[in-house]
Structure 1
């Protein structure tokens, strides 16, 4: 008899393979049977976990926005009393982990967000706004002279930089995770410093 943990693990497997396939071939280019085959179950067997592809897409895109926000809040809570520079570094590191480990979700967000129901799309946007505002608050603590609109623009620009990882080539063609992460971190901090210098 399958346990609740087994079911949760199976859902995660389905979502991971759905994200990969949707990113590679587009939402409409992938059938339920193919997703099922990727995780070793029949296409109809997927309906025990999800009502359909639309539900998978919604869970993927709402889910990653929620996880990024939750992770950022956790990093801020753990950083009580830590210098603002270190908090900003922690936020950058967390987003780099996402950008390197969940590249298909970045592609999926860019291509398929408009396919979500209005309510799901609004929820994604709401979660993303909250995530941005956390970064803006920390960034302005590091650079007090940086006006709020400029800080928000800088945060969005750095997200664009970090979320460019799907365009870096296949994972095996990168110079190594640590090297790539270090480069992205230096570029992000450099962009923030440049924004503050321009004020």
Structure 2
């Protein structure tokens, strides 16, 4: 994914603080005034940027799903090498998300059902497309793997990588060490597809 160097806009600052507060205290446990105070503006001033908390939540969850999908597509298009390189790049991108956007993972898990139906469907559609992007690459790397099996493996790896919020503030052993650990675990999970196939082919 592209690394930004310019300062975040006020709208982006609001979304970042809203995600943090929603993750800490839940959607209904946070008021507009608190979000405003976190970015140095009055609560009513937020309405120049968002219609309300519901709009913030929708932009957070639809937005991160869009960014994951677009980032995944860019990585798949620009990775140098075969499917192994593409999968490695996808894993690295998702690790960045899992470490940099931990509050959003929590908000998604807790608050997705609070979105209006059209926004929730948009999130689900984007997520399915993101999963299928990975499934295609996994099956290119492991051509004898059934589609259903590859999809299950992708979901399992997402569950692994997205577990970072549950480790607690003292649970991560440092950014670099955590990246290495998650990368090894993710690659190991996909490598197990080939070993599982080989084991299944052995006679009793």
TM-score normalised per structure 2: 0.91
Partner in structure 2 of residue 84 of structure 1: 83
Query: Per-residue CA shift, 1:50-86, capped at 9, x if unaligned?
Result: 000000000000000000000000011112x622111
Cα RMSD (Å) of the superposition? Answer: 1.4
CA distance in 1, matches of 2:116, 2:75: 31
Q: Tell me by how many angstroms 1:87 deviates.
A: 0.8
Asked whether 1:190 is paired with 2:188, we answer yes
Partner in structure 2 of residue 158 of structure 1: 157
Matches of residues 117-196 of structure 1 in structure 2 within 5 Å?
A: 117-170=116-169, 173-196=171-194
Asked whether 1:35 is paired with 2:35, we answer yes
Q: Which runs of 5+ in 1 are unaligned?
A: none
Q: Tell me by how many angstroms 1:173 deviates.
A: 4.8
Contact 2:61/2:104 (<8 A) preserved: yes
Q: Which runs of 5+ in 2 are unaligned?
A: 1-5, 198-204
Q: Tell me by how many angstroms 1:195 deviates.
A: 2.7
Moved over 6 A (4+): none
Asked whether 1:98 is paired with 2:97, we answer yes
Partner in structure 1 of residue 17 of structure 2: 17
CA distance in 2, matches of 1:197, 1:122: 36
Paired residues, number? 192
CA distance in 1, matches of 2:165, 2:172: 11
Q: Secondary structure at the match of 1:198?
A: helix
Asked whether 1:62 is paired with 2:62, we answer yes
